[in-house]
Amino acid sequence: MTIQNAEALKAAFAAADKGDPVPLVNLYDDAMIWAGFTLDGTQRLYTKAEFLEAFGILAKLDESRNEVTDVSVIGDEIVVADVRAYRRLGEHELDITMVMTHRFVDGKVTHGADIVPSSFERFWAATGLTV
């Protein structure tokens, strides 16, 4: 089942990058909890709604892309994805690989966490954007 989850994750990210966020939104369970980063580099827990709302900042950028470049399947429920994240606002660019860990239950992501390099918060600080 986890191989199918990994394929679903890659397909959902690819669809979102082409402008169709529905597969990715549907992949996340409504009760999902995500341990993620804020723009200043601190970590916090997000609900699904908060997690998706935070992605709204990407609309303020000149360019934004996410590409799953590799996945690792661990046991029956865990999919770890290397995600190349590109962001640009004017002269400010961010081109990183972040790691996103997803726990799948019955085909839905119920829990997740990500880790980003320190250039993440430096980019957001330079842009002056906030959520």
pLDDT tens readout for residues 3-30: 999 999 999 999 999 999 999 999 999 9
pLDDT tens readout for residues 34-54: 999 999 999 999 999 999 888
Does the pLDDT value for residue 1 go beyond 70? no
SS3 18: coil
What is d(CA 98, CA 95) in angstroms, rounded to the nearest whole number?
10
Q: What are phi and psi of 48, to 5 degrees?
A: -60, -45
With b for 16 or more beta-carbon neighbours within 10 A and e for fewer, the 45-54 pattern comes to ebebeebbeb
What is d(CA 24, CA 22) in angstroms, rounded to the nearest whole number?
5
Contact 105, 128 (CB under 8 A): no
pLDDT tens readout for residues 59-117: 999 999 999 999 999 999 999 999 999 999 999 999 999 999 999 999 999 999 999 99
Helix boundaries (H) for 28-118: 48-54
What CATH number should be reported for the domain whose range is 2-127? 3.10.450.50
pTM: 0.92
Kind of pairing between the strands at 63-74 and 92-105: unpaired
